């Protein structure tokens, strides 16, 4: 894929996100199609692959999405008003005490401006325990203080680079299955969902209220297959769990098991090397594609009832 262009700094993820792909970029780049069409990333998270592609002059048309409202609000603020975000972060620099952290964590983002909301997210991500982002059933951030007095709360140079990389990019808040409404033949979709746990205590999926469990994993696998049938190129990452293996180790799918380090875990002993799946699904040739009828789409790929009820249920 070549080296990043040198006419500006390459943007890096502005938040640390579970499953971040900075360490696996070369593995991912090696599996991309020659032509991307429009680049879609429905679980954008930290956006490491997207930012690298933009630095390489790729992904000239892109749509980034996530189900996390705080995250997508931050992307929009940095795309549209980086100077306002930087001004708000300047007010938080130096607030490294435990008392400062919990005071800022207790503030409601609903009462904030877009720039304040973004600055709060970045601050909590930098100062929280091990860079976690986690919410409870009410959607409230509940990560404890991380005692990281050396954290770089404000990296203005990178925030401006992020701003430049996001110009012309479509940003959406929503579930991954909505990519079916936008992706067309010749496009490329990268899925990096919350990983299927390898054990009952190996990971968590509370990055947006409602979680991401087995029903969502199975729904995602159906969406992947449907995209391929429409002529869309797909790449997906997941843990090498029994469920993920069963869903994706099938005829016509290229599956690689690679070593990766889990950088975010509540216990230091859980941050070692693990096996991950990289799944490459090629677009079906025109003779094997099927026409799309919008009505049938709404029937076949609506959220499963179990998923919808968890997402909309009020917390007890």
Look up residue 282 and give its two tokens. 């090629």
Question: What does R_g of the chain's alpha carbons equal in angstroms?
Answer: 19
Beta carbons of 171 and 75 less than 8 angstroms apart: yes
Which range in 203-217, 258-272, 289-303 is most confidently predicted, on average pLDDT? 203-217
Q: Check residue 174 and give left, alpha or beta (phi > 0: left; psi -120 to 50: alpha).
A: left
Nearest Cα residue to 47 out of 190, 256, 231: 190
Mean predicted lDDT score pLDDT of the chain: 85
Q: What share of the chain has pLDDT > 90, as a percent?
A: 67
Domain regions of the chain by residue span: 22-67+174-312, 75-161
Residue 293 pLDDT: 56
The domain defined by 75-161 folds into Adenine-specific Methyltransferase; domain 2 (1.10.1020)
Residue 50 has pLDDT above 70, yes or no: yes
Look up residue 132 and give its two tokens. 């976690």
Residue 114 pLDDT: 97
pLDDT, average across residues 263-288: 75
User: What is the layout of strands, in order, in the sheet containing 62-66?
Assistant: 170-173, 62-66, 39-41, 188-191, 233-239, 273-281, 253-261
Residue 153 pLDDT: 95
301 vs 313, more confident: 301
Residue 139 pLDDT: 78
Task: Give this prediction's pTM.
Answer: 0.86
N- to C-terminal Cα distance for the chain?
50
pLDDT, average across residues 290-305: 53
Residue 169 pLDDT: 98
Residue with tokens 């990289």: 278
Length of the chain, in residues:
316
Query: In three state form, how does the secondary structure of the chain look?
Result: CCCCCCCCCCCCCCCCCCCCCHHHHHHHHCCCCCCCCCEEECCCCCCHHHHHHHHCCCCCCEEEEECCHHHHHHHHHHHHCHHHHHHHHHCCCCCCCHHHHHHHHHCCHHHCCHHHHHHHHHHHHHHEHHHCCCECCCCCECCCECCCCCCCCCCHHHHHHHHHHCCCCEEEECCHHHHHHCCCCCCEEEECCCCCCCCCCCCCCCCCCCCCCHHHHHHHHHHHHHHHHCCCEEEEEEECCHHHHHHHCCCCEEEEEEEEECCCCCCHHHCCEEEEEEEEECCCCHHHCCCCCHHHHHHHCCCCHHHHHHHHCCCC
pLDDT, average across residues 123-129: 94
pLDDT, average across residues 139-151: 86
Read off φ and ψ for residue 26, nearest 5 degrees.
Answer: -65, -40
Residue with tokens 């090629």: 282
Read off φ and ψ for residue 279, nearest 5 degrees.
Answer: -115, 120
pLDDT, average across residues 25-40: 96
**The CATH number, out of the four listed (3.30.499.10, 3.40.50.2000, 3.40.630.30, 3.40.50.150), of the domain defined by the range 22-67+174-312:** 3.40.50.150
Model confidence pLDDT, tens digit, residues 92-102: 999 999 999 99
- Residue environment code for 40-77, b if the CB has 16+ CB neighbours within 10 A, otherwise e: bbbbbbbbbbbbbbbbeebbeebbbbbbbebbbbbbbb
Residue 48 has pLDDT above 80, yes or no: yes
pLDDT, average across residues 270-274: 59
């Amino acid at each position: 894929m070549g080296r990043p262009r040198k006419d500006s700094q390459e943007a890096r993820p502005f938040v640390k996100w579970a499953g971040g792909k900075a360490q696996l970029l070369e593995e991912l780049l090696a599996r991309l199609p020659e032509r991307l069409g429009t680049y879609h990333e429905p679980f954008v998270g930290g956006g490491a692959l997207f930012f690298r592609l933009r630095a390489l002059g790729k992904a000239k048309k892109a749509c980034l999405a996530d189900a996390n409202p705080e995250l997508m609000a931050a992307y929009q603020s940095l795309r549209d008003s980086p100077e306002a975000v930087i001004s708000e972060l300047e007010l938080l620099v130096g607030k490294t005490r435990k008392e400062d952290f919990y005071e800022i964590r207790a503030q409601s983002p609903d009462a904030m401006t877009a720039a304040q909301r973004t600055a709060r997210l970045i601050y909590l991500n930098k100062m929280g325990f091990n860079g976690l982002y986690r919410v409870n059933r009410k959607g409230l951030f509940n990560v404890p203080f991380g005692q990281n007095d050396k954290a770089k709360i404000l990296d203005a140079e990178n925030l401006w680079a992020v701003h430049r990389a996001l110009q012309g990019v479509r940003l959406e808040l929503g579930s991954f299955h909505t990519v079916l409404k936008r992706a067309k033949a010749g496009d490329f979709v990268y899925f990096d969902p919350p990983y299927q746990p390898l054990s009952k205590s190996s990971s968590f999926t509370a990055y947006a209220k409602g979680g991401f469990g087995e029903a969502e994993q199975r729904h995602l696998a159906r969406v992947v297959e449907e995209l391929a049938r429409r002529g869309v190129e797909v790449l997906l990452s997941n843990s090498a769990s029994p469920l993920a293996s069963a869903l994706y180790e099938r005829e016509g799918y290229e599956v690689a098991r690679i070593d990766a380090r889990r950088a975010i875990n509540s216990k230091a002993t859980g941050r070692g090397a693990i096996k991950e799946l990289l799944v490459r699904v090629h677009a079906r040739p025109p003779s094997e594609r099927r026409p799309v009828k919008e009505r049938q789409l709404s029937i076949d790929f609506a959220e499963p009832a179990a998923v919808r009820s968890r997402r909309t249920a009020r917390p007890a």
